[in-house]
Structure 1
């Protein structure tokens, strides 16, 4: 079953040789994701500032800004520093290429000609991590909205349209309803926290750790709501 456009992740492939880009696109085609080309390190950086990528496949030997320099620049920018990079190089590469690659922040290293199945497997690992992180971010945003509320309550609108006597009557009648709404909101928050915790158990990497810290802050906010509710 094909993936909808909104669910697809983007993969950036960077190589100065057109035939290599064509070969990479052919290998990655079965993953059914969006593949974006760049013919140089400079072009790659511009592309990464325009859109979000799940992973970058970066050739080491390029004229001008080579793969190592490009990777270093990617890791230097706040907007792109967490994007995983797989460096690609030929069989005649120096023995220290792998060390240099990991030193500049590359997540993996492959030597050409690479096995298509192996490349797809490595890329798919980062695609799955990217999907989990997007799910976590969406859950965190939903929790934030639940915690701060969104919009004017119906009680406020009704109160503005009634006289003082009716306001007093409504206040007494709405108190249990308000309590139920608060309880339902808190229950939904707790449920979403549980969902996020399940995602965190499966996710790996620095991005997941950062989201875990944000969720911990939300858990503290929920505990505060519980204490207020118990003391009311």
Structure 2
């Protein structure tokens, strides 16, 4: 993944009303992120399994699987449980909504009618966290690759020292070191372990 890829994040917008989806897209388009629509909880879950999302905007009141049930299902899946969910509620929402939402793992709430500035600000916070988490993951992979490369170099030095010794037992040990080196080499990106 390149640093450019770490800068982008998809946003899943879930609402059963077309006008609401259009309004969300209009408000969020200045963020220049990939906006994905879902018109039901079931469709949202399918989208969550197809790609990674930085944040989900999820309407609470939908026919069939409502926002609470959808959020609970998102949080149950290993590959989606860490995706932040902003629940979108109507003006009739109660304190019970907040309790239920936070109990299932929602990260935030926003009430209709939506204040565009508040929505963009909240979503931008989660996009920023997503970018930072992806960059940290890229750094961890690079650091692991550096460590593995160092291990391979040390194993190679040990193998060369052992191969230079005339004893039969050291040849067997050198073969084991070479085998370990190949195994560690397969863990490095772009290496097969066979040279």
Q: Is the structural similarity TM-score above 0.5?
A: yes
C-alpha displacement at 1:98, in angstroms?
1.1
The aligned residue for residue 149 of structure 2 is 149
The aligned residue for residue 64 of structure 2 is 64
More helix by share: 1
Segments of structure 1 that go 5 or more residues without pairing to the other structure are 157-163, 165-232
- The two structures have a TM-score, normalised by structure 2, of 0.74
The aligned residue for residue 47 of structure 2 is 47
2:109 maps to 1:109: yes
The aligned residue for residue 133 of structure 2 is 133
2:74 maps to 1:74: yes
Q: Distance in 2 between matches of 1:80 and 1:111?
A: 24
SS at match of 2:25: helix
The aligned residue for residue 194 of structure 1 is none
SS at match of 1:82: coil
C-alpha displacement at 1:114, in angstroms?
1.8
The aligned residue for residue 19 of structure 1 is 19
**Which of structure 1's runs of 4+ aligned residues deviate more than 2 A?**
4-7
C-alpha displacement at 1:5, in angstroms?
6.5
Q: Number of residues paired by the alignment?
A: 155
The aligned residue for residue 91 of structure 1 is 91
Q: Distance in 2 between matches of 1:105 and 1:95?
A: 16
Q: Distance in 1 between matches of 2:138 and 2:5?
A: 17
Q: Distance in 1 between matches of 2:57 and 2:42?
A: 15
The aligned residue for residue 30 of structure 1 is 30
- The two structures have a TM-score, normalised by structure 1, of 0.62
SS at match of 2:95: coil
Q: Distance in 1 between matches of 2:94 and 2:136?
A: 40
The aligned residue for residue 7 of structure 1 is 7
Segments of structure 2 that go 5 or more residues without pairing to the other structure are 157-163, 165-195
C-alpha displacement at 1:94, in angstroms?
3.2
